[in-house]
Structure 1
Amino acid sequence: MTRIETPWGPWQAVTVTRAAELFAHLGAPWFVAGGWAIELAVGGPVREHADIDIMLLRRDQGRLHDVLPGWDIHAADPPGTLRPWPRHEVLPSGVHDVWCRPAADEPWRLQVMLDESIGDRWVSRVDARVTRPVASLRNLTPDGIPYLTPEVQLFYKSRHTRPRDETDFSAVLPYLDGRQRSWLDDALALTAPDHAWRRRLRDSPM
């Protein structure tokens, strides 16, 4: 992976395969997320990636320390502050971004996003009206790596639609079936009814 510099130290992300090895024994749902989730859904390269995101449910946050023993783990306190996250602290709902590296003198290797749930249902941290069964979030690559289903990842990306988000949307749109398109369109109807992606979801061929 490419090494990049940030105000909080360098990033040199692990590969998707290495991330899967690290989280194999988490004992709770986890998903490759972000741009890599789109790439896994497409089954091939889409664009360059500066980091790798892993999504966990907030209720399972303590398990992260179990699968990354001895790692230097920091919570991102909004806005823009990284601070060490001790093992037994329960992160509040406003903190949903965690950076991880094997040691303080090494580059950051992966980012963990904490998402909300109630019982067996995932609840979007963007808008609690957007919800679905936790089990329906999970897709698998042919070699068994779990990744966040692309319509949910696109819902998160729809908030900003940066150039890379537009690239990801265009790349994965032909792979979305009618059910996936309908779910994303319904979610956007609730949260961003004038979003430009809605027309493309309806009009682009499958």
Structure 2
Amino acid sequence: MTPTCMPWGAWDSATPAEVASLFGSLHVPWWLAGGYAIELALERRLREHADIDVLLLRRDQLAVQDALAGWEWWAADPPGRLRPWRPGERLPDGVHDIWCRPGADEPWRIQVMLDESVGDDWVSQRNPHLRRPVTTLGHTSSDGIPYLAPEIQLFYKAKEPRPKDDADFAAAQPMLSTGQRRWLADAISDTYGHHPWLQQLLPQPPSD
């Protein structure tokens, strides 16, 4: 893939197979996220990707340094500053993103996102009332790559949907089960309020 210029330098994202090779030996849960998660759920390619996202629970964050030993890791401090992430440092709750590259002269390859948990439950960083067992967060593709469940990924994309998010939703929503659609509709309504996607997720009453 041709490197893509973005803030803080160029991106040449790893492939899902490369991510699986790097993270596959970890003894903590992780999931491919973003647009790639939607594609793995659909089992087909939808579009080009500027980067690749991996989700881990905050409690397991130091596993990233094990998976990417010898790489550079940079924490994205809000509201928009990258700084080196020191070995063994536990990032505070406000930091959710880590940019990773093999070396200082290399393009960024992987973005890691951290999410919250309490006990055996995942807890949404955007809505602390939204939670579910960690064991239900994702699925595994036919080639063994764990990916975030599509209804959870679409919940994240629904915050301020860009054209590519709307396209991912349009492609994924027909294959959601009734339970997935209900979970996503409730999560969007409770977190974001009125949202254009709700009309497609909720069955419409028959007209008189």
TM-score, normalised to structure 1, is 0.96
- 1:112-191 pair list within 5 angstroms: 112-191=112-191
Secondary structure in 2 aligned to 1:117? strand
- Cα offset for 1:189? 2.2
Q: Give 1:45 shift.
A: 1.1
**Residues 40-81 of structure 1: per-residue CA shift (max 9 Å, x gap):** 111111111000000000000011111111101100001111
Which whole-Å deviations, capped at 9, do the CAs of 1:76-102 have from their partners, x for residues lacking one? 001111110011111000000000001
Distance in structure 1 (CA, Å) of the matches to 2:64 and 2:46:
29
Aligned residues: 204
The SS at the match of 1:27 is coil
Q: Secondary structure at the match of 1:41?
A: helix
User: In the alignment, residue 201 of structure 1 is paired with which amino acid?
Assistant: L
Secondary structure at 1:10's aligned position in 2?
Answer: strand
How far, CA to CA, are the matches of 2:8 and 2:196 in structure 1?
35
- Normalising by structure 2, report the TM-score: 0.95
- Residues 90-138 of structure 1 show CA distances to partners (whole Å, capped at 9, x for unaligned) of 1000000000001111000000000000011000011111111100011
Report the 3-state secondary structure (helix = DSSP H, G, I; strand = E; otherwise coil) of the residue aligned with 2:114: strand
> Matches of 2:60 and 2:52 in 1, distance apart?
19
Query: Residue 56 of structure 1 contacts residue 114 of structure 1 at CA under 8 Å; is this kept in 2?
Result: yes
| Alignment-mate amino acid for residue 11 of structure 1 | W
User: Which residue of 1 is the match for residue 31 of structure 2?
Assistant: 31
Comparing 7-16 and 189-198, the one that deviates more: 189-198
Which aligned runs of 4 or more in structure 1 are off by greater than 2 angstroms? none
Kindly state the Cα deviation for residue 174 of structure 1 after the two structures are TM-superposed.
1.1
Q: Matched residues in 2 for 1:35 and 1:203: separation?
A: 26
Distance (Å, rounded) in 2 between the aligned partners of 1:203 and 1:101: 45
Q: 1:145, 1:85 → 2: CA distance?
A: 26
Q: Which sits farther off after the overlay, 103-112 or 193-202? A: 193-202
Cα separation, 2, equivalents of 1:106 and 1:194: 42
Q: Name the counterpart of 1:85.
A: 85
SS at match of 2:18: helix
